[in-house]
Amino acid sequence: MAEMSMSLDGFIADPADSVDHLFGWYANGPVAVPAPNGGMTFHVSPVSATYLREEFASVTAMVAGRRTFDLTDGFAGGHPYDIPVFVVTHSMPPGWPRDDRPVTVVTDGLESAIAQARAVAGDGVVSVGAASIARQCLNAGLLDTIRINLVPVLLGRGVRLFDQLAHTPIKLENPEVVAGDGVIHLCYDVKSS
C-alpha cells in the first residue's frame, strides 16, 4: 500500500521538500489521536480520526527510499507508527547499520526490501512511504492499494507522486472516499493486469 498526503495538482512536497501545506489536516480538528510511538499527537476531525486509527492498526512495516531516510535523519526516534522501516538505497549510509533504530538499510533492491518488509509484517500491511518507491512498486507490479490524503491546495511544482510510470494506464478500482476536514481520504485497489 502506498499512502501519502497530496495536493490537488499531484505533489507530495514542494520544491524544498516541505510538506507543511499538505499536513495541516493533521492539526485542524478536535479529536486527539496519539501516534503509536507516543512521539506526537494528531488533532483531526472525527472522520479523519477513524481513518488514522484504522491505518495505525493495520500497517506493521514500511518501505522508504534514501531521500526520505535522509530527510528524517534516518528516522531518528523511530517511525511515528512504531514499525520497522526498510530503506531502499544503492549504498550503505555512513554509520549504518545501527542497533538503536528499527531501520534496516537494504542495498540489494526494491524486491528484496518488499520481501523483507512482508516477512516482518505478517498479516499486517506493508506501507510504501516515498514517491519514488511508490512509482517503482507500481512499475514492478508490487503495489496493491493506493491511499491518498487529498489536500485542497495547488502547489504548482515540487515532488510529483505519479510521474515516470512505465506502464500506463494503470487502472484503479473499488474506490473509497472519506471526506474529512481539510482533506479527502481516497483509497483505491490497483487493478492487476
The whole-angstrom separation of Cα 95 and Cα 13 is 28
Q: Could you read off the pLDDT of 87-133 as tens digits, one per residue?
A: 999 988 787 777 777 888 899 999 999 999 999 999 999 999 889 99
Average pLDDT, the chain: 90
Q: Greater confidence, 138 or 38?
A: 138
- Candidates 3.40.1160.10, 3.30.360.10, 3.30.1300.10, 3.40.430.10; CATH matching 2-190: 3.40.430.10
Could you identify the residue written with the cell 520544491? 15
141 pLDDT higher than 70: yes
Task: Say how many C-beta atoms besides its own lie within 10 A of residue 23's C-beta.
Answer: 15
Q: How many Å apart are CA 103 and CA 3, to the nearest integer?
A: 19
Q: What angle do CA 10, 11, 15 make, to 5 degrees?
A: 150
Picking from 89, 68, 95, 91, the residue whose alpha carbon sits closest to that of residue 79 is: 68
The per-residue pLDDT for 193 is: 65
**How many percent of the chain have pLDDT more than 90?**
66
Q: Contact at 8 Å (CB) between 34 and 177?
A: no
